[in-house]
Amino acid sequence: MSFSTPRFRRVLLKVSGEALMGNRQYGLDVDMVERVAGEIRSVQSMGVQVCLVIGGGNIFRGISGAATGMERATADYMGMLATVMNALAMQSALERIGVATRVQSAIPMSSICEPYIRRRAVRHMEKGRVVIFAAGTGNPFFTTDTAAALRAVEMGCDALLKGTQVDGVYTADPKKDPRAERYDSLGYLEVLSRDLKVMDASAITLARDNNIPIVVFNLHHAGGFAEVMLGRGLFTIITNEA
């Protein structure tokens, strides 16, 4: 179903760190960061309040560091710092195109960004600013997926959107299995029981317990974010009703 006005008033967009690599093997692709910033601006210009959580896997992934023998908590803290770097890069790209942006970190680092304060973040969005939540939850052993679900709940978001490299949730990896079929809609429990790897289980459970729809779409499709907000294009929506 398509809409003439945005279907959600306030949303959180979860972007993986890998999405910002473009065709690189590591780090940030400036063109890709700027393209994502443009997608965000197009949605914000529709009157939608937008906040973001960005992963850090393009720089350092905590669980990978732990796999090499590094102490897990230390590795996770390093991963959190990677998310701060990505958040600052996105802030810079957004502000270059005229979008007022604030970065709030769950780990206080007052020289470069604000500490996470829920009421302040809500006020920023009410004033038309984009807020980027960095450093995950501030605690080791939690992923940025969980951080995204947590912040979406705290901000009173109408939906949690996950931008990926495919246009929804499939029965299998469509890049590896040409017979994979896309779901238009799913229930939270279906995602968990089928182990569909949309987000980690704690993130799905948080969204389910607070009745926040999760919308999975292709962030690499030009205009895809805005299309989803209008109920158009291809995506998978995960709710209690599916």
Q: Is 156 annotated as a binding residue?
A: no
Encoded tokens for 112: 């470069």
Amino acid at the residue 64: S
Q: Do the annotations mark residue 170 as ligand-binding?
A: yes
Binding site annotation covers 138? yes
17 is in an annotated binding site: yes
Q: Is 4 marked as binding a ligand?
A: no
Q: How far is CA 221 from the centre of its chain?
A: 16
Tokens 């990505």 found at: 86
- 146 appears as a binding residue in the annotation: no
Binding residue per annotation — 224?
no
* Residue 31 labeled ligand binder: no
Q: Is 165 annotated as a binding residue?
A: yes
- Binding residue per annotation — 16? yes
State the amino acid at position 241 in one-letter form.
Answer: E
Q: Annotated binding residue at 141?
A: yes
How many degrees, rounded to 5, is the angle at CA 31 between CA 83 and CA 60?
25
User: Is 137 marked as binding a ligand?
Assistant: yes
Residue 44 annotated in ligand binding:
no
**Ligand-binding site membership of 139 (annotated):** yes
Residue 191 annotated as binding site: no
* Residue 194 known to bind ligand: no
Q: DSSP letter for 217, please.
A: E
CB 205 within 8 A of CB 146: no
Tokens of 163: 């931008």
Tell me if 61 is assigned to a ligand binding site.
Answer: yes
Helix spans in the chain (H): 30-44, 62-67, 72-96, 118-126, 144-154, 188-193, 201-209, 224-229
56 belongs to an annotated ligand binding site: yes
**Residues 186/235, Cβ–Cβ less than 8 Å:** no
Q: Sign of the CA dihedral 142, 156, 126, 219?
A: positive
Query: How far is 95 from 132, CA to CA, in rounded Å?
Result: 12
Q: How far apart are CA 33 and CA 71, in angstroms?
A: 31
Which residue ranges are tagged as binding site for ATP?
Answer: 14-17, 57, 61, 164-165, 170, 173
Which residue ranges are tagged as binding site?
Answer: 14-17, 56-57, 61, 76, 137-144, 164-165, 170, 173
Which residue ranges are tagged as binding site for UMP?
Answer: 56, 76, 137-144
